[in-house]
Amino acid sequence: MMDPALMAEFLGTFLLVVLGQGVVSNVLLSKTKGHGAGWIVITAGWAFAVTVGVYASKSASGGHLNPAVTIAQAVVGSFAWSKVGGYLLAQMAGAISGSVIAWVAYRPHFEETADPATKLAVFATGPAIRKPLDNFLSEMIGTFVLMFGLLMIFSESNFQKGSDLERGFSPMLVGLLVWAIGVSLGGATGYAINPARDLGPRIAHWILPIVGKGTSDWSYAWVPVAGPIAGAILGALVHQWLGLK
């Protein structure tokens, strides 16, 4: 029987990507009901997606849903390194599976959309101005805010760990944090802030039979992986250095 924590990470990340990629599909693809709805709808959709994913997984796994979060917690000693590999595999599998299902939900609209870049943007992030070092720093900054913010949301000063209030309310605050990052810091790169969220769907884009899909832009793929990992580690280290509880 599969470890409940790994199943929770798979399911939570699956739901996150189904809903997150779904809102981007709705806004960007041709002839959808939400076509052209704009950046605020996309950032809200991703925030709600994260909220649902955390609710679905937090009790069993802690609701990481993000390799950068898992690795950062291991670096500062709050998560066992022996569990990292399983969490990362579950998150990646959930992201790829969720991406495939989101594609199925909007498959006719991919056929109606001519631009290959738009099709890729449904799956993976890309920079508004392509400058890899700056793009890396943007992802690092956004994920620093995410990691530091998560640690503060779940701090002892805000919630008694395991309390009804912490279990019931904190996932909504996580979604609010992601929304804040999206509307404030997401405009430069599309704010992956999660290696699984970008790499999993990018792999799905690469393997799926999408008509006229073009390249999966692998030359950029390192940025939304390395930037978030660096930012999350830095956020966790600063939180630890400050001695916050």
CA distance 89 to 226: 17
CA distance 159 to 168: 11
147, 136, 228, 149: which is closest to 188 by C-alpha?
Answer: 136
Q: What count of other Cβ atoms lies within 10 Å of the Cβ of residue 91? A: 32
CB 68 within 8 A of CB 13: no
CA distance 15 to 106: 16
CB 95 within 8 A of CB 200: yes
pLDDT tens, per residue, the chain with 245 residues? 679 999 999 999 999 999 999 999 999 999 999 999 999 999 999 999 999 999 999 999 999 999 999 999 999 999 999 999 999 999 999 999 999 999 999 999 999 999 999 999 999 999 999 999 999 999 999 999 999 999 999 887 777 776 766 777 889 999 999 999 999 999 999 999 999 999 999 999 999 999 999 999 999 999 999 999 999 999 999 999 998 87
Helices (H), the chain: 4-28, 39-61, 67-75, 81-105, 107-112, 116-123, 132-153, 164-185, 195-207, 223-241
pLDDT of 162: 67
Angle, alpha carbons 221-224-228 (nearest 5°): 150
CA distance 127 to 220: 9
pLDDT of 245: 73
CA distance 240 to 220: 31
Q: Which residues contact 133 (CB under 8 A, 6 or more apart)?
A: none
CB 197 within 8 A of CB 124: no
pLDDT of 168: 78
118, 114, 100: which is closest to 25 by C-alpha?
Answer: 118
> Which pTM was predicted?
0.95
Q: Strand, coil or helix: what is 36?
A: coil
Q: Give the fold, CATH level 3, of 4-241.
A: Glycerol uptake facilitator protein (1.20.1080)
CB 47 within 8 A of CB 175: yes
Give Cα separations from 53 to 72, 168, 221 (angstroms). 19, 13, 24
